[in-house]
Amino acid sequence: MPAGDELPPEEQDWHRFRQLNQLANHWERPGWADGRRSYHWLLTFEHPSVLHTLAAQCQEPFRDLAQFDLVPLDTLHLTIQRVAFTDELSAASLEAAATAVSERCQHVAPFGLRIGWLAGSTGAIRLTALPAAPVAAVRDIAMDAVTANLRGEIPVRPAEIFWPHVSIAYSNTTQPVAPVMAQVEALRHLPPAEVLVTSVALVELRREGRAYRWDVLERVGLGVDGWTRS
């Protein structure tokens, strides 16, 4: 079998998922506490679409499993970059970073994504988003804005592998991965959903029970001058 990075892009997340022995509790993540909120750049998919149809179909095998929390369809999202917890930086610094992202996104054209090829990670069952390059380009803009405008205000985070994805279910306990591997594999070859990305949202993210919700602070259009403030 080829090494993971030698496989076609749609197979790489599946290859990594197959190397896991167990899933972790997604909700036990560093820094989160009751009531704490976080600023993130997201691609959001809140409106009914072919992606909602695909996600619902992929969620079906996990619907009655207590060890998984299904992602509400109106909160399907692709995380571009976490900025910081809301108590870690000032409103002025956040505004400066948002302005920097908006200015650079004027030069990024809207792009299409194909979202499918069900796989998973240590804490979630998720769909792969391809091509990765335009998403990574927007992420680079967001990361550069953080580096340039928030230096010294937030902890330095180590570099991490970025693989664009849309989670459809979160593991809420430590559990073996083998029992769900067959269900995931059976759904991997459903046709991917095609979406057009025209904006990126700066949100204030919160947890409501075992689900994410958010308020959109800024919605930055791609290839346009300026942004929309919510």
What per-residue confidence (pLDDT) applies to 152? 58
Mean pLDDT calculated for residue range 194-215: 97
- Side-chain half-sphere of 49: how many Cα atoms within 13 Å? 17
Whether the bond between 131 and the residue before it is cis, its omega within 30 degrees of 0, is yes
Confidence of residue 156 (pLDDT cuts 50, 70, 90): low
Take residue 173 and report the two structure tokens written for it.
Answer: 């306990």
Q: How confident is the model at residue 1 (pLDDT cuts 50, 70, 90)?
A: very low
Give the pLDDT of residue 140: 92
Structural domain for 37, as ranges? 4-229
Query: 23-57 pLDDT, tens per residue?
Result: 999 999 989 988 999 999 999 999 999 999 999 99
What integer best gives the mean pLDDT of the chain? 91
| pLDDT, tens digit (0-9, with 9 covering 90-100), for 96-153 | 989 999 999 999 999 999 999 999 999 999 999 999 999 999 999 998 888 777 655 5
pTM comes to 0.92
pLDDT value of position 69: 98
- Per-residue model confidence (pLDDT) at position 6: 82
Q: How far apart are CA 68 and CA 65, in angstroms?
A: 6
Share of the chain above pLDDT 70, in %: 90
Q: Which CATH number does the domain housing residue 201 bear?
A: 3.90.1140.10
Q: Of 128, 154, 132, whose CA–CA distance to 14 is shortest?
A: 128
Q: How confident is the model at residue 93, as a pLDDT?
A: 87
Instruction: Give the number of domains in the chain.
Output: 1
- Rounded distance between C-alpha atoms, residue 27 and residue 1, angstroms: 33
